[in-house]
A and B are shown apart, each in its own frame.
Chain A
Amino acid sequence: MSLPKHLQETFSPEEIQFIVENEPIKIFPRITTRQRINHRDHNNNNKGHNDTSRRNWKLITTKDFPLNNMVAMQTTTVTLWIALLLKQQSKCSIIAPDWLTIRSLDQSIQYEKKHEDRFSKLPWNWLVLAQLLFGKAPDDFHDPVHELRNRIQDLREIRQLKVLKGLKYLNESHLQLDNLSVLEINELRPFIIDIMDKLRELHSAAHGESNANEADDEEDFNFS
């Protein structure tokens, strides 16, 4: 079909990364793109040249204003994919978000350990963003990267354990999964949805036959 089979029910990890790359992030530019306003009374010879040598950013998916007003070493917020592109050319350094420090990651780990029944409030893109920044901007962190990596890995494992526990409660009505990140959802999606669909089919088939004695039916389900 026009959409490949493996993409029909879910996103590929690359697409998840694509989605995350559309989020804003803070950077320190190393170039200045802000135009000077003075020199109004200069000779006309240079005027034409100035016009043509200026390359304006004109973007159609994000605000181009911050990009046209970059001043070296003044923080500004741009879309992540532009930040990565600038970083690649060493035209900026990326400021890691607040939660991506050893301190706050430790807090999250503490929270995860204390509360068995819920996930800590990490941003929805934490796993992808951490991976991207470790890969593309490892020199921009204040904390040593290997420490951060370790903590991200710890968090990932703790949360995976919780997910495994949660899978016991797959049912035919619904689940609530607050604070689960987009990548975690994506890897679970085919599994959870298939199982719950099957449970639902079984339930509705049974339900359709024994419509009269609903009470029994509910009990049956509690046992199974």
Chain B
Amino acid sequence: MDIDIEDILAELDRDTTAVDESLPSHDEIPSESNTTSHTLLNNSLETGLNNDKNGKRITTTVATDNNLRIVSPELSFKQLMTCWRNERCAPELLPFPHELMKRMMSRIQEQMEYIENISMGFLENDHTHYSDHSPQDRNKLATDDDPVATRMNSNHDSKLPLLCMEAEIERVKFVIRSFIRCRLSKIDKFSLYLRQLKEDDTNIISLDEILSREELEYHERHFLISLKLLNDSVLKYMPTELQAINDTEGSVNMIEEPDWNKFVFIHVVGPPDGNLEKDSSLTTNEFNKYCYSVTIPELKEDVELTINSIYVMRYEVIRDLLKAGKVELI
């Protein structure tokens, strides 16, 4: 998915120079004195924004240039949705998407500032215009169906883009909130297990990769608080050999691990770059369809996962495929 940035930039250039002659000049006369100052102010604001827009495009390009690809906002939102859905369905805590979240957060921040700037523009300029001219505009709309006038009117007092931008930001924020809450609840659940991971040096994946900085802190302090509660209320009355809260030797293992074999619904999407020939783990079956071949070790059974199909499958079996982005959970 590549954006034609040239096109957008050209559009922006046109916008700053384009003057709409359809705007009736006598409309401006009554409020001329105070509009000019405002327009000046707004003009500078607007160009500043335009610069900012350009600047942002450039910075996002630069920031991701390390990976030598440009990540478009649409793509990162798609990735975020996939992350969210996977996290909600997976039994284990998936690695935190550091880069993606950083990008999303900075975008939200910028967008919120942008919206604020725009709504300030509304207050300063258009408000005075409404009171004077909106009846007139409406009259014009009613009397003649001139599309230009309609357009001007709709453009002029349209709060629609603003409404949409606000709604959109709420939507993104909802996904991120839900994503993080889901992760926090998993951190609660696997608190002891994560601790064990941290202490275990032989582990392949470090805790910093799985958790974000805030999550690490939450994990640490939440663990201490609950430990203190348990210690003070119950554990201190126990004999010393029973005081450990992470006893694995007793009759019941106290460390709750993720249920690795939990069944999950998967959708086989194929390699992320869409290039079926290059993926070495893909094979063709007798119906000449591409599929992944996986083995369920416990049953010694081979299963072919055809692309674009839906399966109910054990998590452990498809874990590697999920990490490679070749299947999605639903």
Contact = CB atoms under 8 A, between A and B. Distances in A.
B160 interface: yes
Contacts, number: 208
B118 A55 contact: yes
Contact of B298 (A2, A91, A207): A207
B18 A174 contact: no
A180 B3 CA distance: 33
B107 A60 contact: yes
Given A60-B107, A89-B160, A182-B330, A193 B126 contact: no
Contact of B18 (A35, A58, A65): A35
A98 interface: no
Nearest to A176: B311
B interface SS class: helix
Interface stretch (B260-268, B275-283, B319-327): B260-268
B310 A2 contact: no
Contacts of A111: none
B263 A193 contact: yes
Interface residues of A, number: 72
A81 B167 contact: yes
Contact of B17 (A40, A62, A174, A192): A40
Given A33-B155, A81-B167, A52 B19 contact: no
Interface stretch (A41-49, A102-110, A134-142, A149-157): A41-49
Interface stretch (B168-176, B203-211, B248-256): B168-176
Contacts of B296: 173-174
Contacts of A178: 308-310
Given A8-B185, A63-B74, A207-B298, A51 B108 contact: no
Interface of B: 3, 7-8, 11, 14-21, 23, 25, 28, 35-36, 38-40, 42-43, 46-47, 53, 73-74, 77, 81, 85, 88, 107-108, 110-111, 114, 118, 121, 125-126, 147, 150-152, 154-156, 158-165, 167-169, 171-172, 174, 178, 181-182, 184-185, 188-189, 259, 261-265, 296, 298-299, 301, 303, 308-314, 330
